[in-house]
Amino acid sequence: MDLSLKNNFIKRLVSSIIIAPILYFVIYYGNIFFFSLLIIIAIISFYELKNISFNNLIFIFSLFILLLFLYSSWELRNLQNGFYLVLFVLFICIFTDIGGYIFGKLFKGPKISRISPNKTYSGMAGSFLLPLIVVYFFLTSDNNSEIYSKIIYFYNLNLSFTILIISLVSQLGDFMISYLKRKSKKKDTGNIIPGHGGLLDRIDGIIFATIFYDLLIRVIL
């Protein structure tokens, strides 16, 4: 592995290890903790959006999407079993990102588009397969039947379809931010997270997936 890639991987790993338990705690306890997290996300994302928005119209539209994400996140967490619903979306997006990275590096192949030249068709396949395999088998195991009922059975959803469609929306969100960065001639949205870049570099897919999942559940209810 190239030394720079190795160092970047180590930074990403350390950052993730530090952030993950904090994020879990905040989502679990909700209320003021979760609200405070959303405020922090709003402030950082506002400045990062200004950094990659190449005209005022794009900035206004992006800001609207961000506000919709903040609202959807709060509403989703406050639904019955909201803790599990938020984690469900979060884990699908995380494994979508990991699957795309691993499969893309291993199998390479043709690029998807010039919008995001690092993304390949093999990576896109991995973005669908990894969350489908990991999240599906985790939730359908006997030990997690209670969690399954709170996420899927309670809201009368098809598990495989829900995972795949959330993964798709997450990837589209990733493409959207990649497009903005490319048009603005920016490599990252910022540098607040070592090894990851900006906050929006990490939550781009989560933003769109959360909005979609919140709307999906509202349609069902």
pLDDT 10s digits, 8-48: 556 666 777 788 889 999 999 988 999 999 999 999 999 99
Task: Tell me the whole-structure pTM to 2 decimals.
Answer: 0.90
**Given pLDDT bands bounded at 50, 70 and 90, which one contains residue 51?**
confident
Within 93-153, strands assigned E span none
Pick from 13-22, 118-127, 159-168: least confident? 13-22
Average pLDDT, the chain: 87
pLDDT 10s digits, 181-210: 888 888 888 888 766 678 998 899 999 999
* Predicted local distance difference test score (pLDDT) of residue 212: 97
How is the chain split into domains, by residue range? Answer: 3-220
* Predicted local distance difference test score (pLDDT) of residue 44: 94
CA-CA distance, 121 to 109, in Å (whole number)? 7
Task: Give one DSSP letter per residue of 113-152, joined into a string.
Answer: -SSSTT-BHHHHHHHHHHHHHHHHHHHHSGGGHHHHIIII
Buried-exposed string 110-133: b where 16+ CB fall within 10 A, e elsewhere: eebeeebeebbebbbbbbbbbbbe
CA-CA distance, 110 to 118, in Å (whole number)? 10
Residue 68 corresponds to which tokens in the numbers above? 């919709």
